[in-house]
Amino acid sequence: MRWWHSLAAVGALLAALAAALALTVAGLRPTTTDRGHPSAAGADDRRPPLRFGSGGGFKVALFADLHYGENAWTDWGPAQDAGSDRVMAAVLDAEKPDFVVYLGDLVTANNLPIPNASLYWDRAVSAARGRGVPWASVFGNHDDMPFEWPPEWFSPDGVPPLRCPPPASTTASGEDQGCSFRGTPRIDLITAEICKNRLSYSSNGPKDLWPGVSNYVLQVLSRAHDDPALLMYFLDSGGGSYTEVVSSGQVKWFQSQSQFLNPNGRIPELIFWHIPSTAYVKVAPKAKSEIRKPCVGSINKEDVAPQTAEWGMMDALSKRPSVKAIFVGHNHGLDWCCPYEKMWLCFARHTGYGGYGNWPRGARIIQITENPFSTVSWIRMENGTKHSDVTLSS
C-alpha cells in the first residue's frame, strides 16, 4: 500500500499549493511566507476581499511622506508629528475613503535613535485604523535608512537629553534598551504592521525580490460578483538600506503576475511606489514654472528626483493598455499628474509635517468607478479645500 500513501501525500501537497495560490490571487496572505516568517495575523487570517461599493465606486486616499519621528528629543519633532495626525484626520473625515495607501517614508529612520521604529510606524497608520479604513503600505527611502548622527551632537554642548524609547520598551530578556542607533529593517517594520493590524492589506512580498519587500498585488472585486474589477500593484522602489531602483527582478515578477491575473488586459490596473521613475523627468514641467495642460497640478517647486536607474519597468507598463496610472511620492514640492504614453504619471501630495518644505499639506484622492470604468483624481487639503481635478481614464 506504499503507493497509496505516496499518492495521498502528493495530493495533500497539491492541495496545500492550491490553497496558497488561491490566497495570493485573492489579495490575502497565506499563514506563512515563503521565507518562513509567521503570517501577519495567524492561521485565522481571512481578511475580507476589497470590493467596489454598492454605488459602484472605490475611493482611495494617498498619504505620502509623513516622516514621523524626526528630532524626537526636541519640542519641534513631536509638534510635526501632531501636525501630520491633523492632516490625515482632516482628509479622512472629509473624503471618507474606502482604502488608504501609505506611499512611503512613513518614518524618518535616519533621525530615529529608538531601537524599534515600528512604534512610529504604528502611529502613522493609526489614523486609518482608528476610523476602520483598510490600508496598504509601500516603503520609501527613509523608512529603513541608517541613523545619521547630528553634527551638533559633537559640539561642546554634546548629545541632548534623549526621550527614547517610550516606557515599557524592553528586550526579550526584560532589559531596558534605552536608545539604539541600529535602525529597524524593512521586514521588521512590515511584519509588525501586518501582525498588529487586521485592517492592513500590506504584504512582505516574495523573498526572491528582497532586499525589496513591499511587492504585492491586491484585487478589488466587482460589486456584483466575485471577479476582480481592479488590480492594484505595489512595488518597493528601494532607497535607505539599498539602491533607489525598481529591479529587473521586479519587472519579471510584475509581468508574471499581470499575465496570470489579467492575461487579456481586461481588468484596469493602478501602480503604486515611492520614488519616481526616470519617465517622470521626461514629462515634468520645468521646475518652478506654471503647470500647463495636459499636466494638472498646483505645485511645481523642484526638479524630479528619480530612481538611479531604469531596468525595464516603464517599458513593461507602457505595453499594457490596462495600466491607467502610476502614483508616487518622494518629491514634496510636486503634486502634478502628466500623461505618458497611454497612462498618467502622478505625484501624491506631501501629507506629513515631517520632511522638507513648508508647502500646505494635503493628500491625493483617487475615485474609481467600476461601470463604466473611470478614474478621476484631485487634491484634498488640510484646510478642507479641493483642487487639481483630473480625469485619468474614462
Mind listing the pLDDT tens digit for each residue in 256-275?
999 999 999 999 999 999 99
CA dist 377 → 128, 361, 362 (Å): 20, 17, 13
Q: Which residues pair with 300 in a beta bridge?
A: 334
Q: For residue 202, how far is the Cα from the chain centroid?
A: 8
Phi, psi of 123, rounded to the nearest 5 degrees: -65, -35
With H, G, I as helix, E, B as strand and everything else as coil, classify residue 48: coil
Asked if residue 338 belongs to a domain, the reply is: yes
Least confident stretch, 79-93, 157-171, 367-381: 157-171
Whichever domain contains 257, its CATH number is 3.60.21.10
Average pLDDT, the chain: 86
Asked if residue 74 belongs to a domain, the reply is: yes
Q: pLDDT value at position 105?
A: 98
Asked if residue 245 belongs to a domain, the reply is: yes
Q: pLDDT value at position 15?
A: 41
Q: What's the number of domains the chain is made of?
A: 1
Q: pLDDT value at position 249?
A: 97
Domain that holds residue 322: 57-147+178-391
Asked if residue 232 belongs to a domain, the reply is: yes
Average pLDDT for 347-375:
98
Q: What would the pLDDT profile of 212-243 be if each residue is shown by its tens digit?
A: 999 999 999 999 999 999 999 999 999 999 99
**163 or 353, which is more confident?**
353
Average pLDDT for 26-52:
50
Instruction: Label residue 319 left, alpha or beta by phi (over 0 means left) and psi (-120 to 50 means alpha).
Output: alpha
Q: Any residues with CB less than 8 A from the CB of 307 and at least 6 apart, and which?
A: 237, 238, 244, 245, 246, 275, 276, 277, 278
Asked if residue 162 belongs to a domain, the reply is: no
With H, G, I as helix, E, B as strand and everything else as coil, classify residue 323: strand
Q: pLDDT value at position 155?
A: 76
